[in-house]
């Protein structure tokens, strides 16, 4: 009988309440309350319940903060995640200096600095959503076989850099009063050339975890992406990134 219902979760959120309660609650809402183990939502908040949550969650999500490395409970949770070989995703509130936080890590947690931590900015809804998307993508990649994860991370990073660049251009265009019009709009998908089956995705989010088996077979993917074109500037903009831009209305 699990200590908390349902006994298995997608995410175990590890955090310090005094530092990151707002981010933790917002994340549990965005990721799905029933899919997240968050002490604030649990009947049993005991140490045994925390350990159960780490062991029975797909992803260990730690919210780094000034008090995180000093918390005995957070330290235990991280070490449990390591013991149970749980994939770890790291995030932090925009108001904190994550570099300074990681410098305070005790020797047994120093390896956390090797994990790319995702910034969460609650002062800007659009930027917070970008942070949530990055966490979801990191969670997908963290569950892939190492070789596939490395390939996917590299492809996603390059694609995201391309789209972020175009997002900036899109903002500049609109500031000049330029109009971005749809061009060649099709479903936003990655297509596996081996199975000829479409998977949801965007250049900014990369290849999804359910394509891992195809990647391991050496299958190639090509993208069909809704795009916008500026009538006066020579570039295209991915629809999802255009719509996610803070200036979109």
pTM over 0.85: no
Phi, psi of 194 (to 5 degrees): -80, -50
**What is the per-residue pLDDT across 190-215, written as a single tens digit (0 to 9) for each?**
444 444 444 443 333 344 434 445 44
Model pLDDT, residue 40: 93
Structure tokens at 113: 């600095």
3-class SS at 36? strand
Place 39 in a pLDDT band, splitting at 50, 70 and 90: very high
Sheet (strand 118-120) strand order: 36-37, 9-14, 57-64, 88-93, 118-120
């Amino acid at each position: 009988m699990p200590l908390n219902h349902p006994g298995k979760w997608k995410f175990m959120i590890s955090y310090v309440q005094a530092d990151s309660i707002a981010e933790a609650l917002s994340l549990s809402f965005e990721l799905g309350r029933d899919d997240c183990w968050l002490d604030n939502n649990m009947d049993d908040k005991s140490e045994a319940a925390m350990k159960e949550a780490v062991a029975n969650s797909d992803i260990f999500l730690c919210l780094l903060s000034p008090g995180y490395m000093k918390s005995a409970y957070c330290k235990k949770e991280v070490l449990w995640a390591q013991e149970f070989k749980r994939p770890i995703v790291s995030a932090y509130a925009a108001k904190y200096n994550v570099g300074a936080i990681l410098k305070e890590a005790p020797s047994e947690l120093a390896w956390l600095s090797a994990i790319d931590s995702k910034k969460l900015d609650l002062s800007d809804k659009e930027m917070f959503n970008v942070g949530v998307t990055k966490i979801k993508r990191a969670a997908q990649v963290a569950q892939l076989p190492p070789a596939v994860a490395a390939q996917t991370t590299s492809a996603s990073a390059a694609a995201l850099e391309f789209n972020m660049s175009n997002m900036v251009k899109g903002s500049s265009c609109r500031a000049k009063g330029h109009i971005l019009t749809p061009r060649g709009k099709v479903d936003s998908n990655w297509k596996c050339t081996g199975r000829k089956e479409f998977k949801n995705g965007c250049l900014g989010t990369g290849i999804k975890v359910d394509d891992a088996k195809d990647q391991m077979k050496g299958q190639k993917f090509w993208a069909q992406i809704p795009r916008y074109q500026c009538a006066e500037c020579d570039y295209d903009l991915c629809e999802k990134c255009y719509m996610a831009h803070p200036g979109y209305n």
